[in-house]
C-alpha cells in the first residue's frame, strides 16, 4: 500500500502530481474517536472523518443495523413501483426530527452533492408547477460550499472550485459572506454585518428582478469556507427577504445537521423554517453513504396538488433510499438522540472556544478563531495587521506537528478546520488544544 500510494488513485480536491510527491496518510483502523495509520500511529481524529463521524468509529448499534439489513436485503430500489422498509421508516423519523423546521417530506439521495442538486432541481420544478417557469436563477453566498455537481458547483461561493469547470449554470449570483474577519464593508460587528449582507441580498434581488429567482441557498454556518458563523439575526433577515419576494430558501445543512452546530440543525439555531434542507454526512455518522433533501409544506403541497404536466419527479438516484444506508441512518439517529449529541456538541464546543481564544492570545500567527458547537476554524496569517494568509508550508508544519502530538487536523487554505466526533470528552478537547499549541509553536 505504501509503495503504490497515490499512483493508481486520484484523490478528491488534490493535485495528482502533488499527491504523488507527498502521499496521503493511509488510515487502517478506527476506534472510539481515534484512528490508526498504516505505520501504527494512533491519533485523535479532530476532523471526525469529514465532518461526519459524529458517533466515532465504534458505534455497535450502527454496525449491527448494517449487518442485519445486509442479511435481510442488501438492496432494492425505490423507483416507481417499489420501496423498502428502512427508507420509509427513516423518512418518518426525519419528518419528526425536523418538524420544528417545517420539513414534511424526504427525498433520499446518495450524499450531500446529490442533496443540493435535488433541492435546486425541485426548486425550479416548483416554479414550473406554479406557472412561473421564468424563475430559474439562484442566489448564494460567497465562501459557501455546496458540493461538486454542476448545480452545486455553480452556487458554490469559492471561485477556486468553479473555475476549472466553467461554464457552469447561468443565472447564479453571490452575495458577500457575513464574515467579520474579511468583508467588503470593513465591518467587524457581527449584527451590523448581518444587516449589510442582508441588504446586499435585497439589492441583488432588486437588480435581477425577484420574479426571475427560484431560490436562495445558504449554509446556516458556513463549513468548508472556513467556519464562518453568521450573526443569529442573519438567517431570519434572509427568511424575511425571501418571503417578501416569494423566493424559496434552501438551507444546506449537510454539515450543520444532526447536532454539529450545538443544535439539531443550523436553521434551529435561529428558529428559521427553510423551504428545503439538504442533509447527508452525519445522517449515518459516515458508516454508509446517504443523503436526503427535506421538503417543507409549501413546496410539498404544490407538488401534491399539481394538475400541470410538471408534477412528476423526473429525478432520482439508483441509491435513493438504499435500505442498508437507511438502516444505518435509523441506528445513527437513535444513538445521536439517546446520547443528546447536540448538548455535548454545545458543551464541548464552549470548552473548545476557550482553548481557541487562548491560542489566539498566545500565537500571533492566529489571525482569527471561529466556532459554533463542534465546528471550528483557526485562520492563520503571516501578519496580523495585513491579514496576509499563512502559506502552504506553514500550514503543513502546524498540521504535521499536531499529528506527531497525537491529533489529526484538516488544513483548508490558510484555515485549520476542526470537526471532531460529537462524542468527544473534555479531556479530548484539552488534547486537541495541546496538539494545536505544539503545532503553532513550531512556526
Ligand atoms: N454541502 C455542504 C455544506 C458540504 O459541506 C458538502 C461536503 N463537504 C456538500 C454539500 C457535498 O456533500 P458530499 O461531499 O457528500 O457530496
Q: Which residues contact 270 (CB under 8 A, 6 or more apart)?
A: 220, 232, 233, 234, 235, 236
Q: CB of 116 closer than 6 A to ligand 1?
A: yes
Per-residue pLDDT, 6 = 58
**Span from the CA of 148 to the centroid of ligand 1 (angstroms):** 8
Interval 343-388: pLDDT, tens: 999 999 999 999 999 999 999 999 999 999 999 999 999 999 999 9
Burial pattern 197-214, b for ≥16 Cβ within 10 A else e, equals bbebbbebbeeeebeebb
| CA 385 to chain centroid | 31
Q: CB of 222 closer than 6 A to ligand 1?
A: no
Confidence bin at 113 (pLDDT 50/70/90): very high
Q: Is 212 strand, coil or helix?
A: helix
42 preceded by a cis bond (ω within 30 of 0): no
Per-residue pLDDT, 78 = 93
Cβ distance 284 to 329 under 8 Å? yes
> Which of 338, 370, 403 is the C-terminal boundary of a domain?
338
Q: Do residues 78 and 166 share a domain?
A: yes
> Which of 217, 251, 280 to mutate for ligand 1's pocket (most ligand atoms within 8 Å of CB)?
280
Interval 329-347: pLDDT, tens: 999 999 999 999 999 999 9
In ligand 1, the atom with minimum distance to the C-alpha of 147 is 11
- Give the Cα-Cα-Cα angle 356, 362, 366 (nearest 5 degrees): 60
Q: Do residues 374 and 397 share a domain?
A: yes
ipTM computed for the complex: 0.99
Q: Identify the weakest region by mean pLDDT among 1-5, 94-98, 285-289, 343-347.
A: 1-5
Q: Cα–Cα distances in Å, from 79 out to 49, 108, 115, 440?
A: 31, 11, 17, 52
Cβ distance 407 to 46 under 8 Å? yes
In ligand 1, the atom with minimum distance to the C-alpha of 114 is 16
Give which of 106, 120, 427 is closest to 283, Cα–Cα.
106
Q: What percent of the chain has pLDDT over 70?
A: 99
Q: CB of 417 closer than 6 A to ligand 1?
A: no
Q: For the chain, what is the mean pLDDT?
A: 97
- If you take atom 7 of ligand 1, which residue's CA is the nearest one? 147
> Which of 151, 222, 255, 290 to mutate for ligand 1's pocket (most ligand atoms within 8 Å of CB)?
255
Per-residue pLDDT, 9 = 86
Q: Do residues 196 and 245 share a domain?
A: yes
> Which of 305, 323, 338 is the C-terminal boundary of a domain?
338
Interval 30-42: pLDDT, tens: 999 999 999 999 9
| Total structural domains within the chain | 2
Q: What percent of the chain has pLDDT over 90?
A: 94
**Span from the CA of 406 to the centroid of ligand 1 (angstroms):** 27
**Span from the CA of 280 to the centroid of ligand 1 (angstroms):** 8
Give the separation between CA 171 and CA 31, rounded to whole angstroms.
46
> Which of 147, 251, 258 to mutate for ligand 1's pocket (most ligand atoms within 8 Å of CB)?
147
Q: Do residues 327 and 345 share a domain?
A: no
Q: CB of 141 closer than 6 A to ligand 1?
A: no
Q: CB of 223 closer than 6 A to ligand 1?
A: yes
Phi, psi of 270 (to 5 degrees): -120, 15
Per-residue pLDDT, 18 = 85
Give the separation between CA 226 and CA 258, rounded to whole angstroms.
19
Q: CB of 112 closer than 6 A to ligand 1?
A: yes
Per-residue pLDDT, 215 = 99
Per-residue pLDDT, 4 = 65
- Give the Cα-Cα-Cα angle 318, 322, 328 (nearest 5 degrees): 155
**Is residue 159 one of the residues assigned to a domain?**
yes
Confidence bin at 1 (pLDDT 50/70/90): confident
Confidence bin at 195 (pLDDT 50/70/90): very high
Cβ distance 158 to 165 under 8 Å? no
Phi, psi of 97 (to 5 degrees): -60, -45
Interval 146-155: pLDDT, tens: 999 999 999 9
Give the separation between CA 439 and CA 138, rounded to whole angstroms.
41
Q: Do residues 113 and 149 share a domain?
A: yes
What is the pTM (predicted TM-score) of this model?
0.98
Per-residue pLDDT, 151 = 97
Cell of 315: 429525478
Interval 278-331: pLDDT, tens: 999 999 999 999 999 999 999 999 999 999 999 999 999 999 999 999 999 999
Cβ distance 50 to 281 under 8 Å? yes
Domain CATH number, residue 206: 3.40.640.10
**Span from the CA of 272 to the centroid of ligand 1 (angstroms):** 21
> Which of 143, 146, 161, 222 to mutate for ligand 1's pocket (most ligand atoms within 8 Å of CB)?
146
Per-residue pLDDT, 7 = 73
Give the separation between CA 378 and CA 419, rounded to whole angstroms.
12
Give 371's strand partners.
376
Q: Do residues 250 and 128 share a domain?
A: yes
Q: CB of 49 closer than 6 A to ligand 1?
A: no
Phi, psi of 205 (to 5 degrees): -65, -45
**Span from the CA of 112 to the centroid of ligand 1 (angstroms):** 4
Of 350 and 11, the one with more pLDDT: 350
Domain CATH number, residue 419: 3.90.1150.10
Cell of 332: 445513527
Q: Do residues 188 and 234 share a domain?
A: yes
Per-residue pLDDT, 71 = 98
Per-residue pLDDT, 59 = 98
**Is residue 230 one of the residues assigned to a domain?**
yes
Of 14 and 219, the one with more pLDDT: 219
Which DSSP helix (H) or strand (E) runs through 324? Answer: helix 323-338
Give the separation between CA 217 and CA 213, rounded to whole angstroms.
11
Confidence bin at 80 (pLDDT 50/70/90): confident
Which domain covers residue 375, as residue numbers? 16-55+340-441
In ligand 1, the atom with minimum distance to the C-alpha of 291 is 15
The answer for 48, left when phi > 0, alpha when psi is -120 to 50, beta otherwise, is left
**Is residue 5 one of the residues assigned to a domain?**
no
**Span from the CA of 222 to the centroid of ligand 1 (angstroms):** 11
Cβ distance 297 to 104 under 8 Å? yes
Q: Do residues 278 and 377 share a domain?
A: no
**Is residue 2 one of the residues assigned to a domain?**
no
Q: Do residues 131 and 280 share a domain?
A: yes
Interval 235-280: pLDDT, tens: 999 999 999 999 999 999 999 999 999 999 999 999 999 999 999 9
On the question of pLDDT at 439 being above 70, the answer is yes
**Looking at residues 78-102, what average pLDDT do you find?**
97
Give the separation between CA 143 and CA 223, rounded to whole angstroms.
9
Q: CB of 145 closer than 6 A to ligand 1?
A: yes
Cβ distance 75 to 323 under 8 Å? yes
Give the separation between CA 253 and CA 145, rounded to whole angstroms.
11
On the question of pLDDT at 171 being above 90, the answer is yes
**Span from the CA of 252 to the centroid of ligand 1 (angstroms):** 9
Amino acid at each position: 500500500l505504501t509503495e503504490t500510494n497515490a499512483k493508481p488513485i486520484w484523490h478528491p480536491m488534490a493535485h495528482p502530481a502533488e499527491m504523488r510527491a507527498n502521499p496521503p496518510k493511509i488510515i487502517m483502523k478506527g476506534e472510539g474517536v481515534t484512528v490508526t495509520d498504516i505505520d501504527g500511529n494512533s491519533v485523535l481524529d479532530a476532523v471526525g472523518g469529514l465532518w461526519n463521524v459524529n458517533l466515532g468509529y465504534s458505534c455497535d448499534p450502527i454496525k449491527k443495523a448494517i449487518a442485519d439489513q445486509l442479511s435481510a436485503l442488501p438492496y432494492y430500489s425505490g423507483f416507481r413501483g417499489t420501496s423498502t422498509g428502512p427508507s420509509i421508516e427513516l423518512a418518518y423519523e426525519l419528518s419528526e426530527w425536523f418538524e420544528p423546521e417545517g420539513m414534511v417530506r424526504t427525498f433520499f439521495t446518495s450524499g450531500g452533492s446529490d442533496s443540493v442538486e435535488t433541492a435546486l432541481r425541485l426548486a425550479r420544478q416548483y416554479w414550473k408547477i406554479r406557472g412561473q417557469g421564468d424563475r430559474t436563477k439562484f442566489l448564494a453566498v460567497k465562501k459557501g460550499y455546496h458540493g461538486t455537481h454542476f448545480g452545486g458547483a455553480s452556487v458554490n461561493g469559492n471561485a477556486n472550485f468553479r473555475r476549472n469547470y466553467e461554464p457552469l449554470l447561468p443565472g447564479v449570483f453571490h452575495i458577500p459572506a457575513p464574515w467579520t474577519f474579511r468583508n467588503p464593508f470593513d465591518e467587524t460587528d457581527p449584527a451590523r454585518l448581518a444587516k449589510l449582507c442582508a441588504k446586499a441580498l435585497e439589492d441583488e434581488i432588486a437588480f435581477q428582478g425577484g420574479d426571475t429567482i427560484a431560490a436562495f441557498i445558504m449554509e446556516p454556518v458556513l463549513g468548508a469556507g472556513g467556519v464562518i458563523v453568521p450573526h443569529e439575526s442573519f438567517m431570519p433577515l434572509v427568511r424575511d427577504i425571501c418571503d417578501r419576494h416569494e423566493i424559496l430558501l434552501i438551507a444546506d445543512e449537510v454539515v450543520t445537521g444532526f447536532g454539529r452546530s450545538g443544535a439539531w440543525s443550523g436553521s434551529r439555531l435561529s428558529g428559521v423554517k427553510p423551504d428545503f434542507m439538504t442533509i447527508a454526512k452525519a445522517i449515518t455518522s459516515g458508516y454508509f453513504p446517504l443523503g436526503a433533501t427535506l421538503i417543507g409544506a409549501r413546496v410539498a403541497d404544490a407538488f401534491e396538488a399539481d394538475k400541470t404536466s410538471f408534477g412528476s419527479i423526473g429525478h432520482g438516484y439508483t441509491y435513493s433510499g438504499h435500505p442498508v444506508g437507511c438502516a444505518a441512518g435509523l441506528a445513527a439517529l437513535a444513538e445521536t438522540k439517546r446520547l443528546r449529541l447536540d448538548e455535548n456538541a454545545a458543551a464541548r464546543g464552549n470548552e473548545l472556544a476557550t482553548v481557541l481564544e487562548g491560542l489566539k492570545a498566545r500565537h500571533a500567527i492566529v489571525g482569527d478563531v471561529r466556532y459554533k458547537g463542534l465546528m471550528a476554524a483557526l485562520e492563520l496569517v503571516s501578519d496580523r495587521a495585513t491579514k496576509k494568509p499563512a502559506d502552504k508550508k506553514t500550514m503543513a508544519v502546524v498540521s504535521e506537528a499536531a499529528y506527531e502530538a497525537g491529533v489529526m487536523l484538516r488544513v483548508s487554505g490558510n484555515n485549520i478546520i476542526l470537526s471532531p466526533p460529537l462524542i468527544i470528552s473534555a479531556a479530548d478537547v484539552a488534547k486537541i488544544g495541546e496538539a494545536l499549541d505544539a503545532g503553532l509553536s513550531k512556526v
